[in-house]
Structure 1
Amino acid sequence: MRSHTLNRVGRLLPLLVATVAWAPGALHGADPKASPTLVSVKRIWDKAPHCAFTDLLRWKKKWLCCFREATGHGGDNGTVRVITSPDGGNWNSLAVLKQPGIDLRDPKLSIHPDGRLMLLMGGIVNLNGKYHTRSPRVAFSHDGHTWSPPATVLAEDHWLWRVTWHKRTGWAVSKLNEGRKPRRGFLYKTRDGIKYEYVTEMETEGISETTLRFLPDDTMVALIRPRWIGLSKPPYRKWSYTNIGQPIGGPNFLITPQGTMWAAGRKYGQAAKTSLATMTGTTFQHVLELPSGGDTSYPGMVLHDGLLWMSYYSSHEGGKTSIFLAKIKL
């Protein structure tokens, strides 16, 4: 693995990594003896031809899981469904969000500092089944059932992928450009989830889907598709990056109370798998493949009752892309 800091001087230039002070627990490397155990896995939703791109939230003593429903992975207009369960066993539909002529996708749930639920989505305009343009959408709810109409935020071509709230401020990375075009990523912050203030450019190669988390000393950690871990101290304008040496799709991670980082996403190889990994600020190691295959990944992750609960989607059972819930003993 190689670490570098990228600064923009007409183009991206690799530099030496600056030393970053880490919180206790996060300084240590990934445990080479880490052996998480899959306790159970269950298909929880398959009522549309293609159900994908999940997130998971524990809220008011119940579970919420959101995902996109459509006829395929892309090119058609998807809707966002929110389902709920008291115990993770039986699930019922709670809400469906849709916009005429818009492909709503990649939904992410969070709890706004004022207590409301916030749902962040991407909104794509397809013309004749091909991508044309996009912009992020947000919706809010007091009960998970009734949602405000999806409101457009930022400018056209932005793609805010996940908002992480820290000390009443939401932080998110937006990527610009699509496909094989050169991509740029920008860090934003928000107080209300609607208005976003530019912080800095995240200058690392091919930046795409990004999840942000915070250490107890306010260090911001970023897990970035296709293959980066980023670190920054307040005010988060200077970043160091580590190439983890392998691609990851749909990245998500969390930090335990003990300071251990667990990540999940699409593992590439002879066959795509949804996989759990240990990580630090400079290391990333897959340790458990979940039952999965084909079109798969985009996990939601929650620690609850001594287990990691993880939603994800996969098409390994009969070829139909469905939503699964796994429980894992770390």
Structure 2
Amino acid sequence: MQLISHQLIWGNQQHNAFTDLIKFNGIYYCCFRQATNHVSKDGIIIILKSESLNSWQIASKIVITNSDLRDPKLTIHPSGKLLLSYYHKVFDSLGKNIINQNCIQFSQNGLTWSSAKMIGEKNWWLWRIRWHNNTALGIAYNRAQNRVKLYQGDPLAGFLLKKDDLFSLKQNSKGYPNESDICFLDDGRAICILRRDADTFTAQLGISNTSYQQWQWFDLNEYLGGPAILKLGNGKIIIAARRIQWPFRLSTWIFELNLADKKLIPLFKLPSAGDNSYPAMIEENGKVYVSYYSQHRILKNGDKPIKKQDKCAIYLASIAL
């Protein structure tokens, strides 16, 4: 694999971050959160569209008063609808956080959206939704509970708890599991990459049976922030994620997953520094396209630690297979 191009597709004086990327009805869509900074209370969702992956324009925005809309994700429902999921943090007039819930909306054209529907459980942060045989899986985390749950079903009809204790400090003796991604093997089994932010901070690889009730977990010996998985047409599995290298540097990397050995192979770093990562990937015409965010263009020293008040922009990388 080789990086062949890299372009800024959205940037302004806001904190633009937490991307997803999809092709829907022949058009490419990239969504992200725009706000004052990384943890402010004013997050909105912007959805860009492009016919060529070169020129991008706003297709739609999702804005809710007194709300922070975080970590938008796009997926295609078996019925052909485009689904947008996100975490909705609601604040009262005094700025107090009063409710947190997962929401989903659908669109027939990527331009106009249905009203929001709540899915999952309040205060359990549902991450990516992935489909297999017309059924979706998704993992939600709760920091106070120090564990993650697995949900299964159709988000537009019923997204039900599948496994209450998928991975936890109590069960696995490893703390603060949170962000995740899932992909499916040819035999129907699922694999999961699970971020952790406690003790050794090492991400976990989960491999399920086809019922998704029995999972084996393996330590990957790498910190992976905002992980995204892509199973390529040639059968290889790649991962894009934030990586920590010492002395303290954060950057977005592409890895290959050696599933037989349960090991990660670092391939290369994308242009990135400071507050960065939360990538998404699609494979198209012998290339992999990666959306992500970074602040490397505004940092004089690419090895500086995160400055959450600095502004971030959205980038698209093209990688030759």
Report the TM-score, using the length of structure 1 for normalisation: 0.85
- For 1:196, the equivalent position in structure 2 comes to 159
Q: Is the 8 A contact 2:242 2:278 kept in 1?
A: yes
Q: Cα RMSD (Å) of the superposition?
A: 1.6
Match 2:211 to one of 229, 235, 238 = 235
Q: Is the 8 A contact 1:110 1:118 kept in 2?
A: yes
Shifted more, 109-118 versus 314-323: the winner is: 314-323
Alignment of 1:25-40 (within 5 A): 36-40=1-5
Structure 1's unaligned 5+ residue stretches are: 1-35
Match 1:68 to one of 26, 33, 37 = 33
**2:75 partner letter:** S
- For 2:57, the equivalent position in structure 1 comes to 92
- For 2:289, the equivalent position in structure 1 comes to 309
Alpha-carbon spacing, 1:292–1:91, altered in 2? closer, same or farther (3 Å): same
Report the TM-score, using the length of structure 2 for normalisation: 0.87
Alpha-carbon spacing, 1:318–1:83, altered in 2? closer, same or farther (3 Å): same
Q: What is the deviation of 1:182?
A: 4.3
**Distance between the aligned counterparts of 2:16 and 2:39, measured in 1?**
11
- For 2:72, the equivalent position in structure 1 comes to 107
Q: Is the 8 A contact 2:258 2:265 kept in 1?
A: no
1:271 aligns with 2:249: yes
**1:202 partner letter:** L
Q: How many residues align?
A: 292
Higher relative contact order (CA 8 A, sep 6+): 1
Alignment of 1:12-23 (within 5 A): none
Shifted more, 199-208 versus 233-242: the winner is: 199-208
**Distance between the aligned counterparts of 1:65 and 1:153, measured in 2?**
22
Alignment of 1:115-134 (within 5 A): 115-126=80-91, 133-134=99-100
Give percent identity, aligned residues only.
Answer: 31
Q: What is the deviation of 1:259?
A: 1.4
Q: What is the deviation of 1:308?
A: 0.5
1:50 aligns with 2:15: yes
Please state whether the residue corresponding to 1:272 is helix, strand or coil.
Answer: strand
**Distance between the aligned counterparts of 1:131 and 1:327, measured in 2?**
39
- For 2:233, the equivalent position in structure 1 comes to 257
- For 2:148, the equivalent position in structure 1 comes to 185
**Distance between the aligned counterparts of 2:227 and 2:87, measured in 1?**
16
Query: Structure 1 runs of 4+ off > 6 angstroms?
Result: 127-130
- For 1:326, the equivalent position in structure 2 comes to 317
Q: What is the deviation of 1:60?
A: 1.6
**1:241 partner letter:** W
**1:56 partner letter:** L
Q: What is the deviation of 1:193?
A: 3.4
> What's the CA shift string for 1:281-328, capped at 9, x where partnerless?
311122110000011001110000100000000011115300000000
Q: What is the deviation of 1:280?
A: 3.1
Structure 2's unaligned 5+ residue stretches are: 169-173, 197-202, 300-310
